[in-house]
Copies of this chain bind each other. A is one copy, B any other.
Amino acid sequence: MLPVLVRLRGFQKLTTIEEAKKLFFNSLKIGHRKTEKVPVWSALNRVLAEDLIAEEDLPRFDRSAVDGYAVKAEDTFGASQFKPKTLKLTNASELKRGEAKQVWTGNPLPKGSDAVLMLENVKLIGDDSIEIWTAVTPGENVSRRGEDIAKGEVAVKTGTRLKPHHLCLISALGKSEVLVFKKPKVAVLATGNELVEVGEKPREDQIYEANRIMLASLCHELGAEPIDLGIAKDDVEEISEKLKHGLEKADAVITTGGTSVGASDLVPTAINRLGKPEILIHGIAMRPAMPTALAIVNDKPVVVLSGNPVAAFFGFEIFARPLILKMLGIENEPRPVVTARLTRRTSTALGRKTFVRVHVFQKNGEFYAEPISARGSGIISTLTRANGYVAVPENREGLEEGETVQVHLFDTLEVFGEDV
């Protein structure tokens, strides 16, 4: 806890991110995760729920790693440009001494052969012989049976998010189905009298609700299944009813709006009405997203985010993202990080971990991070003009111009004039 000198905006105390995460995740029993078998062709980005063990060797046989001629290595010993040797071509399935057989990359090695001479190191003499001037050692240019993955070996570990190259390996092992964790269902609710649905006509004092689509999309990107609970008015009854519905249908609930300690601070109140409620933490020593709350209701996690879009984004990033990853069976999946130099000074609040939005770009082979000026966490374009953020520790009052920072990327890196 940070007991002193922190502007609390009505909160009795602020909890650090680290303490909040510890308390939240220690209190949360993520039980036995449900699994399902899916075809490998539907498994992209799913999370493997078992160690995938090779049932046979890969490759399934010794095979040529090049285009050329399979030989007995000892037949090539002593061959040189000054003293070439001649081998007899064969089409038989087994090589005898002094014989060679043409093979292409990937072909099984004929019986009796143990090495391959590369095409360009061989001269065809007539139809039935080759002249060679390089020696090969046993195993040279051969991909050994089981060299890639041996039978019984773990090919892909449990908890791996399956990317294209994993699906390639799994298919090469002959598997057509994989056991994956079921997608966690995450319900998303927005609250606020000021909100109207996009497509409707807002009154003069109303705004379009825009956080649900962001939060649902973030869930979707991580591999969870978002459930839309719509908009609730600033009414404890209505919020409770929708939360209850969400808790029944989903594995976790995320709300946005109604979390500040004001008259419309209704979500925490609504949560306290439901079953065995527990608001564990309310008020985090971070900026933006200070009014974030974390709750557990009947063993299901509820992440209560601010209605400010940028605060909702960072509240999700810091709390909902690791939550969803845990529910998916992934312990560690950080966003990509790039080391960059800050283009100018930026000031931050002492006592809060501050998330400075930056635009990272590459110039002359160096990465630079340009801080995006922001006045308040309601300015959505501070996110769309950025592609990453820097987390500034609580004990810093800012970052200096030219300082080296680690940027967490949430959008594409800008690279100019790169040839790869």
Contacts and interface: CB of A to CB of B under 8 A. Distances in A.
Contacts of A7: 120
Nearest to A234: B104
A410 to B, nearest CB: 7
A89 to B, nearest CB: 13
Q: What is the oligomeric copy number?
A: 2
Nearest to A211: B168
Given A378-B65, A378-B106, A18 B419 contact: yes
Contacts of A173: 208
A164 B226 CA distance: 13
A10 B104 CA distance: 13
A104 B172 contact: no
A136 B154 CA distance: 65
Q: In which size bucket is the chain A interface?
A: 35 or more
Interface stretch (A123-131, A246-254, A268-276, A333-341): A333-341
Interface string A220-245: 11000000000000000000000000
Interface stretch (A27-35, A179-187, A197-205, A294-302): A197-205
Interface stretch (A77-85, A343-351, A379-387): A379-387
B415 A337 contact: yes
A381 B302 CA distance: 40
Contacts of A58: 380
Interface stretch (A155-163, A277-285, A395-403): A155-163
Interface in A160-176: 161, 163-176
A367 to B, nearest CB: 8
Contact of A148 (B105, B108, B176, B378): B378
B44 A208 contact: no
Contacts of A332: 412, 414-416
Contacts of A414: 332
A178 to B, nearest CB: 11
A318 interface: yes
B209 A108 contact: no
Contacts of A362: 337
A419 B9 contact: no
Interface in A183-221: 192, 194, 198-199, 202, 204-205, 207-211, 213-218, 220-221
Contacts of A408: 420
A290 to B, nearest CB: 11
Interface string A283-314: 00000000000000000000000011100010
B309 A168 contact: yes
B411 A260 contact: no
Contacts of A410: 163, 165
Nearest to A218: B164
Given A172-B309, A420-B17, A214 B384 contact: no
Nearest to A310: B165
B143 A376 contact: yes
A262 B67 contact: yes
Given A165-B383, A420-B408, A260 B174 contact: no
A135 interface: no
A52 to B, nearest CB: 10
Contacts of A107: 194, 205
3 smallest A-B Cβ distances: which pairs? Answer: A336-B336, A171-B210, A164-B217
Interface of A: 7-10, 17-18, 40-41, 44, 58-61, 63, 65-67, 102, 104-108, 118-120, 143, 147-149, 155-156, 161, 163-176, 192, 194, 198-199, 202, 204-205, 207-211, 213-218, 220-221, 260-264, 307-309, 313, 318, 332-334, 336-339, 353, 362, 367, 375-376, 378-381, 383-384, 391, 408-416, 418-420
10 contacts: A9-B67, A63-B378, A104-B263, A119-B262, A156-B384, A163-B217, A165-B313, A168-B210, A175-B198, A332-B412
